[in-house]
Amino acid sequence: MIYLDHNATTPIDPRVLEAMLPYLKSFYGNASGLYRLGRLSRSAIDTARHQVAELVGATASQVIFTSGGTEANNLALASLEPQAGLAVSAIEHPSILEPAERLRQQGHPLSLIDVDQNGLICQEALDAIIRTQKTTAVSIMLANNETGVIQDIARLTEQLRAHGIALHTDAVQAAGKIPVDFNSLGVRLMSLSSHKLYGPKGAGALIFEKGARLSPLLLGGGQEQGYRAGTENVAAIVGFGKAAELAKSELAQRGEYLAGLKTQLEDGLRSIPGLSIFAEDAPRLPNTVQFGLPNSDGEMLLMRLDQQGVAVSSGSACASGGKEPSHVLTAMGIAPALAQSTLRISLGTTNTPDQITQFIEQLKILVCQEG
């Protein structure tokens, strides 16, 4: 199989699995237990907390483990206290858009921040948010899961902070693919997810600025500084920690390798007549390419590729299956017909140049058959 959907999820790195196994087999103690078995789990969680903190240049006490990126995003929005109003970018993941909509229904004014045709935040839209003085909290993702477009969060935070507006960034797709430094970004809160960086599913984290207070979603235990009750998923947290450690130490090497594959992929794609790569001129993740093929059906291509043993996405994983054009592409002003004819390729460290060659060949055959 040729797996080209790493933004949906990544396989577990064998070294991560190795680190997790003892906590699934033998060290099953509740981390709140005061006896040795409990203390072993506690200490493993502490190590993982340091590893995750180091990946993003934070300290261990700033890390709250969650069940994943979705929970971290929900916790972030609950914690931003948007009494006077919340603004989120139009291209956020549903785990931001839906809790934001709920906050709106509960009476907190909500604005959507527009992006330009390259998927970058419109400066005028941000200026308007600041000018109207109706917003106290903003959420803008660091890198988009569909297009891979990277926002200049440090610059945006500088502008927002000057007006007392707090920012959360969803760094789920960025962490492990590009350098992410919590302090340089200047945000109050940041979300991470383990299974996007070769760790297990079911673990994530919210990183918070020192002194910030969170509004827990889960109550009933003092775990995670009282911000996230529930017996810890020790093996998953250990796996997340190991994955974060590896992502940090191998970041440059992975980035270089993926960028090489991406160049090969894009050169191949450009040889297909009519194909357009979205946000081609914007800064993008080294592993993500989303493109449109006029007069093709993205879902159909996805299924045909699947029959050939190639796994790709026709948009974000959560959106595929639905027939609505992607909200990200719609926000970028891509016409609905072209937005329905898209595929997203997200590369991973185990992909090879040979796999890219095979994928391009298969895609060309399918496009010819369609045409």
Ligand X SMILES: Cc1ncc(COP(=O)(O)O)c(C=O)c1O
User: Which residues are marked as active site?
Assistant: 318
| φ, ψ dihedrals at 135, nearest 5° | -120, 135
| 139 contributes a contact to ligand X by CB under 6 A | no
Q: Which of residues 199-218 bind ligand X (CB under 6 A)?
A: 204
Instruction: For ligand X, give the closer residue by CB, 68 or 82.
Output: 68
| 73 contributes a contact to ligand X by CB under 6 A | yes
Q: CA 220 to CA 228: how far, in whole Å?
A: 9
Long-range CB contacts for residues 92-101, cutoff 8 Å, separation at least 24 = 92/139, 92/140, 92/141, 92/170, 93/69, 93/141, 93/145, 93/170, 93/172, 93/316, 93/318, 94/318, 95/69, 95/70, 95/170, 96/139, 96/141, 96/170, 97/327, 99/73, 99/74, 100/139
Among 139, 145, 169, 349, binds ligand X (CB under 6 A): 145
CA-to-CA dists, residue 327 to 8, 125, 148, 330, 366, angstroms: 17, 18, 14, 5, 26
CB of 216 to ligand X, least distance (A): 18
Among 151, 193, 314, 340, binds ligand X (CB under 6 A): 193
Write the interaction track for ligand X spanning residues 308-337; mark x where CB under 6 A is met and - where it is not.
---------x--------------------
Say which amino acid occupies 238.
Answer: V
Instruction: For ligand X, give the closer residue by CB, 188 or 366.
Output: 188
**Chain-centre distance of CA 128, in angstroms?**
27
| 70 contributes a contact to ligand X by CB under 6 A | yes
CB of 68 to ligand X, least distance (A): 3
Contact range with ligand X by CB under 6 A, out of 66-74, 238-246, 292-300, 330-338: 66-74
Compute the Cα dihedral for 67, 72, 74, 78 and give only its sign: positive
Among 62, 139, 147, 173, binds ligand X (CB under 6 A): 173
| 147 contributes a contact to ligand X by CB under 6 A | no
In the complex, the residues that contact ligand X under the rule CB under 6 A are 68-70, 73, 93, 95, 141, 145, 170, 172-173, 193, 195, 204, 317
